[in-house]
Structure 1
């Protein structure tokens, strides 16, 4: 965990939004996992979480999203809820990615102070737990990371001599 915190120490990012895609249906016959779409519940979840985030004033400067259909559909709700039609960058490597891939994407945002990742479990949950620690993770998510869950993380960079300390400042669920 410490090495991951240190990797983020060199970036200007001090706010991270981790959004798990909303609920999706089962794959249709002949359809691959990548092409699964949101079901009715998922569309509702995405809209609810996007509206709650907008109401709280959450405005990521950068939004990075998996190219999987269910993530793209979840990002549509985010795009509609934020003023100014934010640009969303779709990244193939986020599908079936490792935690390190997500961490590298955050670390590469040298010009931004806030970044949102719209991705998949278990990677989203694993990354959150690595950044905030097992105790903080389980205190906010005792039943795991739900679909359309949005973790809002902030860091404490007040002490330059110590590693970056990430903490969950909010968690929005549908």
Structure 2
């Protein structure tokens, strides 16, 4: 983490691992699998241990995203502001960036959503060839992106990755 407070902090979280849709089940209703539940708990606790606490969490309404968000309420406190946004489920990456820009007056914002949109937003702010994503954006991957400045129009700029958290596989296996 940076020593000084950033002008704005964006936290991107891809939902944890989910099972495949069952016959007749909509993709929207897919749930976390056993590994995903463990990943969600571990990444929430890891974020809390590092003092990562967003002012607001915007989360896709898909079941697997809601299940990924819930451990943050337990780890960060019942008063954490989690809002569910339908457009984060099926909307393009532009929906994600529009939400970031709409909330850039805050100190920090977390988005919990889906790939490829989460990865697209990460790459938009940090560059196409960022080393953290050599194998794509993994389930339960949490990126903390700090912005040192904002433009007068409220658009954010000058981004740097200040933390990249992944649930440790051996910890997931123990849960």
**Structure 1 residue runs of 4+, over 2 Å off?**
none
Q: In structure 2, which of residues 16, 20, 24 is the aligned counterpart of residue 22 of structure 1?
A: 16
2:26 is aligned with 1:32:
yes
Write the distance in 2 (CA, Å) between the matches of 1:159 and 1:118: 25
Does residue 93 (structure 1) correspond to residue 92 (structure 2)? The answer is: no
Within the alignment, does 1:172 sit opposite 2:165 as a pair?
A: yes
* CA shift digits 1:84-136 (9 cap, x unpaired): 4312100001112111100111111154110000000000001100111123x
The separation in 2 between residues aligned to 1:56 and 1:147, in whole angstroms, is: 20
For 1:29 and 1:113, locate their aligned partners in 2 and report how far apart those are by CA, in whole Å: 43
In angstroms, what is the RMSD of aligned CA positions? 1.9
CA distance in 2, matches of 1:170, 1:75: 19
Are residues 1:153 and 2:145 paired?
A: yes
Are the structure 2 counterparts of residues 120 and 155 from structure 1 closer, same or farther at C-alpha, using a change threshold of 3 Å? same
Distance 2:123 2:142 in 1: 14
Output the CA distance in 2 between the equivalents of 1:85 and 1:104.
25
1:6 corresponds to: none
TM-score of the superposition, structure 2-length normalised?
Answer: 0.85
C-alpha distance in 2, partners of 1:97/1:36?
18
Give runs of aligned pairs for residues 48-127 of structure 1, distance below 5 A: 48-109=42-103, 111-127=105-121
Q: Mark the runs of 5 or more structure 2 residues left unpaired by the alignment.
A: 1-5, 168-175
Report the counterpart of residue 35 of structure 2 in structure 1.
41
- Separation (CA, whole Å) in 2 of partners of 1:79 and 1:169: 23
Tell me, in whole angstroms, the C-alpha distance in 2 between the residues paired with 1:130 and 1:46: 25
Structure 1: gaps of 5 or more residues: 1-11
Equivalent-residue separation in structure 2 for 1:113 and 1:41 (angstroms): 32
